[in-house]
Chains A and B, each alone.
Chain A
Amino acid sequence: MITLFENIGAYFILLSRVFKKPDNYKLIFKQTIHEMVSLGIGSLGLIAIISVFMGAVVTIQTATNMNNPLLPGYLVGFATRESFILELAPTVMSLILAGKIGSNVASEIGTMRISDQIDALEIMGVNSASYLVFPKIIASLIFIPIIVIYSMALGIIGGLVVSMYFDGMTLNDYILGIRFDFKMFSITYALIKSVFFAFIITSIPSYFGYYVKGGALEIGKASTKSVVYSSIIILIINYLLTQMLLV
């Protein structure tokens, strides 16, 4: 229990260093662009594949479970849209990104720690926490909501493609469904969630990487821990935000 509180304390101390006035805005900007390319654009392919297939599967599963003639055909499109916008794109994609980006961030910063690169920055008088972590957080805060929108679109397209060939439904029904009773707040809700998740996805792995001690084995452990903790915290925050925003 003490270790847990120590970790929470150390995490917030790290954050206080991360959000101190940067030493050089130009370098931080350059680093943020670099992180957007590396963390954001590098994840687009994976998110595209997962979203399209998930959209297709959700559509088929919904269609096969709603083959009652009393249920309107457009419900399949409606269900796919709602599940993607409300949960699959913001939460499930964030969990996937917590694995991909989180392990990347923890191992990158952890390697810098054990190979003295962080000490080298400190000796140069650079606030290493701010220089290394701040650009990652900013890049993810900008890029992850974009990825979430991109995932929503591709998921719905995945369902649309399936609706053209699947016997139990029609394309027109699917299109009617994805347009039926659309509330803009659903998108806002998803984006609010994605901003919180973006912060978790980068700050928690940064913490585990920044304070790693030992060698390659410890980097591996830090990387695993960062993914586990990020995922758990994403799920808890997801519940709390849903309770606050939707209920």
Chain B
Amino acid sequence: MIEVKNLYKSFGDNHVLQDISVSFEPGKINLIIGGSGSGKSVLTKCMVGLHEIDSGSILYDGKEFTTMNFKQKKKIRKDIGMLFQASALFDSLTVEENVLFPLEMYTKQTKKEMLERVNFCLDRVNLENANKLYPAELSGGMKKRVGIARAIALNPKYLFCDEPNSGLDPFTGIVIDQLIQEITKEYNMTTIVITHDMNSVMETGENIMFLYQGKNWWQGDNHEIVKADNKELSEFVFASKIMKQFRNA
């Protein structure tokens, strides 16, 4: 479980996050939604330690992350997998080498054992016969799958996904969402997904947090979001005509 308590983060005079308190539970898809510039990515980067926070606390299974030293943080980070918006695969490495990278860095397994794990992870994301391809040779959906395979290579406890279906066609987007959902249940991971995609929100949102102007504006699940009596949330969720018709129906 990841808990964020009274978190504040500013860049100069720009107060990006203000008094954020939220819990992300294991075995569930926890969604962070909100408009552009609402602070979703900054919140995630604070949680994984890429940004220093101004005040507040971040707890990983009850352990305070912000006051940890480099070694302690490193230990937690080995339990974190992250899927980036643009996949962030290492361009100079093949698909196999990308997934192998965290294993080579942190395990003392033999090459054979590591390759077995790589093939298992690639099979798990339904990506076969792509081991020797470079990221430049992959489609957007394939890159996301490799990103997921790399993120789960070390059996992480926590999975962060930054807009996992952005830039994908609706069908591939749903496939990626389902894959994240399956993996989350299978390994009982604490999964946090940043998304703009309302399909994802409706399909997978078991715990949704709506960020507005850097504040935790609303929290609930995909059933509650439809009925929520919150002006800013409704304007965000039902922005399109078709969604408005769906709500009125």
Contact = CB atoms under 8 A, between A and B. Distances in A.
**A and B found bound together:** yes
B74 A123 contact: no
Given A24-B104, A24-B105, A122 B88 contact: no
A116 B91 CA distance: 11
A211 to B, nearest CB: 14
B15 to A, nearest CB: 21
A224 B101 CA distance: 31
A126 interface: yes
B91 A123 contact: no
A112 B88 CA distance: 8
Interface string B79-100: 0101011101111000000000
Given A26-B104, A27-B104, A27-B105, A125 B88 contact: no
Interface residues on B, range: 20 to 34
B69 to A, nearest CB: 13
Interface in A74-102: none
B56 interface: no
Contacts of B85: 116
Contact of A124 (B75, B86, B89, B105): B105
Most chain B beta carbons < 10 A, residue from A23, A111, A115: A115
Contacts of A125: 73-75, 77-78, 106
Interface residues of A, number: 16
B118 interface: no
A117 B90 contact: yes
B80 A123 contact: yes
B102 A116 contact: no
A146 interface: no
A117 B91 contact: yes
Contact of B50 (A111, A112, A115, A119): A119
Contacts of B105: 23-24, 27, 124, 126
A120 B150 CA distance: 10
B82 A123 contact: yes
Q: Interface SS of chain B: helix, strand, loop or mixed?
A: mixed
Nearest to A120: B88
Contacts of B90: 112, 117, 120
A101 B74 CA distance: 32
B125 interface: no
Q: Interface SS of chain A: helix, strand, loop or mixed?
A: helix
B225 interface: no
A117 B93 CA distance: 12
A120 B84 contact: yes
Given A116-B84, A116-B86, A125-B73, A111 B48 contact: no
Contacts of A120: 82, 84, 88, 90
Most chain B beta carbons < 10 A, residue from A24, A112, A116: A116
Contacts of B82: 120, 123
Given A123-B48, A123-B82, A125-B73, A117 B88 contact: yes
A125 to B, nearest CB: 4
Contact of B88 (A23, A26, A119, A126): A119
A123 B49 CA distance: 8
Interface in A8-48: 23-24, 26-27
Contacts of B45: 119
A120 B248 CA distance: 43
A115 B88 contact: yes
A157 B91 CA distance: 40
A11 B88 CA distance: 25
A90 B160 CA distance: 49
Contacts of B78: 124-125
Contacts of B48: 123
A155 B104 CA distance: 44
A124 B77 contact: yes
A23 B75 CA distance: 12
Given A117-B88, A123-B49, 13 more contacts: A26-B104, A111-B91, A117-B89, A119-B84, A119-B88, A120-B90, A122-B49, A122-B50, A122-B77, A123-B50, A123-B80, A123-B160, A125-B77
28 contacts: A24-B105, A24-B106, A27-B104, A27-B105, A111-B91, A112-B91, A115-B88, A116-B84, A116-B85, A116-B86, A117-B90, A119-B45, A119-B50, A120-B84, A120-B90, A122-B49, A122-B50, A123-B49, A123-B77, A123-B82, A123-B160, A124-B77, A124-B78, A124-B101, A125-B73, A125-B74, A125-B78, A125-B106
**7 tightest A-B contacts by CB?**
A125-B77, A116-B88, A125-B74, A120-B88, A116-B84, A123-B82, A117-B88
